[in-house]
């Protein structure tokens, strides 16, 4: 008999799984035997994610694919209802979808429309997904992992204040609901990545060559990423699986794991070589 896999029999929803960190997370869960709901707006990218997962699994019925916009309440209902219809329960919710939406404006010139859109996908969609899945996660004593960002921590990225503020709101919301839901046996945690090479900059309207140039610059400057490399989606996906696995992380409640290659440790002073100062 084949050995039981780490997430066998677990039903997992991963938002934003048509691309980047979410797709890598869905692939890892599928490899580990989970029943997986993948979702996003872009049908082509979702189809590519579906094919990638189906290559790995002998159980095509363990995959649920939902084209949905998380800023539309029908989209949220489709994700939750189709998961319940197909898998009968929800054990794990990964609120990963997010974007630093751009309309070309920066800093305090960013518009109120952009503020609303940014909060809707990065914060409100998470709140709504949790409200819609809460009763099901209580039944299974499940897990929630939110994907935040170091942009939500104390260091600031002043060019895009709404994205940073939305991720800060998400961090505090994570802590508040973690304290509430743990009394019902549901654990809530989050991960706060630094730079990860995904479709994130593309979604901001930057072409691939600009993205690559930025990634190379940051990886080769210790003031940006002391570890000397940009993360790949899998690096973050492994942390998400760790936080979703009660056997590995049961005592972690309401925390955010920072995974940024040391970026948030750098201060103006440590960015320079002391030998150059004297």
| Interactions with ligand NDP, residue window 12-51 (CB under 6 A) | 16-22, 40-42, 45
CB of 113 to ligand NDP, least distance (A): 15
Bridge partners (DSSP) listed for residue 35:
11
Stretch touching ligand NDP by CB under 6 A, among 127-135, 136-144, 199-207, 211-219: 199-207
219 binds ligand NDP (CB under 6 A): no
State which of residues 14, 189, 200, 218 lies at the interface with ligand NDP (CB under 6 A).
Answer: 200
- DSSP per residue, the chain: -PPPPTTTT-EEEETTTTSHHHHHHHHHHHHTT-EEEEEES-HHHHHHHHHHHHTT-S-GGGEEEEE--TTSHHHHHHHHHHHHHHHS---EEEE-------SS--GGG--HHHHHHHHIIIIIHHHHHHHHHHHHHHHHT-EEEEE--GGGSSS--TT-HHHHHHHHHHHHHHHHHHHHHGGGT-EEEEEEE--B-SSHHHHTT--HHHHHHHHHHHHT-TTT-TTSSPBPHHHHHHHHHHHH-HHHHTT--S-EEEESTTGGG--TTTTS-HHHH-
| Interactions with ligand NDP, residue window 63-122 (CB under 6 A) | 69-71, 96-99, 121
**Separation CA 232–CA 273 (nearest Å):** 28
254 binds ligand NDP (CB under 6 A): no
CB of 268 to ligand NDP, least distance (A): 22
Q: How many residues bind ligand NDP (CB under 6 A)?
A: 28
Stretch touching ligand NDP by CB under 6 A, among 1-9, 134-142, 189-197, 218-226: 189-197
Nearer to ligand NDP, 41 or 139 (CB): 41
**Separation CA 72–CA 74 (nearest Å):** 6
CB of 82 to ligand NDP, least distance (A): 15
CB of 137 to ligand NDP, least distance (A): 20
137 binds ligand NDP (CB under 6 A): no
Nearer to ligand NDP, 182 or 227 (CB): 227
240 binds ligand NDP (CB under 6 A): no
Nearer to ligand NDP, 35 or 198 (CB): 198
Q: Which residues bind ligand NDP (CB under 6 A)?
A: 16-22, 40-42, 45, 69-71, 96-99, 121, 147, 149, 193, 195-196, 198-200, 203
């Amino acid at each position: 008999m084949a050995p039981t896999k780490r997430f066998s029999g677990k039903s997992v929803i991963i938002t934003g799984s048509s691309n980047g960190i979410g797709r890598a997370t869905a692939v890892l869960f599928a490899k580990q035997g989970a029943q997986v709901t993948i979702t996003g707006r872009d049908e082509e990218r979702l189809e590519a994610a579906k094919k990638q997962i189906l290559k790995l699994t002998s159980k095509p019925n363990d995959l649920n694919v939902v084209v949905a916009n998380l800023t539309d309440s029908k989209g949220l209902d489709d994700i939750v209802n189709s998961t319940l219809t197909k898998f009968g329960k929800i054990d794990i919710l990964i609120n990963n979808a997010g974007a630093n939406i751009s309309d070309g404006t920066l800093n305090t010139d960013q518009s109120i429309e952009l503020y609303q859109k940014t909060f809707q996908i990065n914060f409100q969609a998470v709140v709504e997904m949790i409200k819609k899945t809460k009763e099901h996660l209580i039944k299974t004593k499940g897990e929630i992992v939110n994907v935040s960002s170091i942009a939500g921590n104390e260091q600031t990225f002043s060019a895009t204040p709404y994205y940073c503020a939305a991720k800060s709101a998400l961090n505090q919301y994570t802590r508040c609901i973690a304290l509430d839901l743990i009394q019902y046996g549901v654990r809530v945690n989050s991960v706060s990545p630094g730079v990860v090479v995904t479709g994130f900059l593309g979604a901001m309207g930057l072409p691939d060559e600009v993205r690559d140039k930025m990634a190379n610059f940051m990886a080769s400057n210790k003031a940006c990423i002391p570890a000397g490399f940009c993360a790949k989606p899998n690096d973050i996906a492994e942390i998400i699986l760790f936080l979703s696995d009660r056997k590995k992380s049961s005592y972690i409640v309401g925390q955010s794991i920072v995974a940024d290659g040391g970026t948030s440790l750098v201060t103006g002073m440590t960015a320079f070589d002391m030998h150059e100062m004297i």
